[in-house]
Every structure is written in C-alpha cells, then in structure tokens.
Amino acid sequence: MRIGELAERAGTTTRTLRYYESRGLLTARRTENGYRTYDEDDLRLLQQIRTLQDFGFELEETRPFVECLRAGHPAGDACPASIAVYRRKLAELDGLIEQLQNVRAQVGAQLLRAEAELPGGPEPRCELGHEHPTGREAASGPMTTRGRGR
C-alpha cells in the first residue's frame, strides 16, 4: 500500500508517517518510480505506536515495542526491553499519582481552612446531594405562594 492509504488506515497523516520514518520507527520500501510502499506489518507497527502514545508514552519509548514486532514477535511487548519500558512507565505514573494525591490533600486542607474562616461559619452541606439553587438544602418541595395571601 502507498503512504496515503497507510495513513488513512492507521488514522494518522502522511506527514506523521514521514516523521516516524525519519526517526527510524517506520521503514518504507520504494517502487521503481520512487513511491513509498508499506505492508500489513507496517500497519501493525503504527497501531502499536499509536496505542502507546494514547497511553502517554513518548515516541522514543515506543522504539522497543517496534523493534520487538520487527523481530517477528506476535506482540510488541513480548520482549524484555518492552517490559522494562512498561516498568519505567508504571513507576512514573505511580510518582504522578502520589504527587496528585499530595496536591489534593493540600487543596482539601485549604478548603477546610477557608470554609472555617467564612463569616458565620461554613455553609451547611447537603448529604443527599440535592441542593436548592441557592446552595441551601431544599425544603420538602418547591416553594409556592399559594395560601400566603400574595
């Protein structure tokens, strides 16, 4: 298949494919007239790259997976180098999760402090999740003016 068809089938652009080629992740074969040609294996490589990038992997982090597929393995993560990348990425994600949990705890503490300093104390909270548009709990239903002499 030619570059345009591969790009369409992979859900990317020809420019991206040329970039991957310049980085050595994709290898084009050339026809007699110089057109790039690709096969189903190249589509599998691209799908592996795109999946990993969707998970947050940097382009260079996809290289071991691509090399694993090129070596004839049925999956890009069937090689030790790919497993090592997974381990590094999980450690990175664990660190980010820890940072986010710390930030969340700090923001929660700031919220509690700020609410405690409000004049009149913190606003009451509705435990059932049904709040009146003013932020206060609604009474037993919508307020009406019937029977109030208005």
Q: Which residue has the tokens 């004839």?
A: 72
Mean pLDDT of the chain: 86
Stated pTM of the model: 0.69
Q: Where are the domains of the chain?
A: 3-116
CA distance 60 to 65: 10
* pLDDT at position 145 over 70: no
Q: Identify whether the C-beta of residue 18 lies closer than 8 Å to the C-beta of residue 50.
A: no
Mind listing the pLDDT tens digit for each residue in 9-63? 999 999 999 999 999 999 989 999 989 999 999 999 999 999 999 999 999 999 9
What pLDDT is attached to residue 120? 75
Task: Please state which CATH class domain 3-116 belongs to.
Answer: mainly alpha
What pLDDT is attached to residue 126? 63
Phi and psi at 94, nearest 5°, equal -60, -40
Helix axes 14-22, 40-54, angle to 10 degrees: 90
How is residue 10 written in tokens? 């992979």
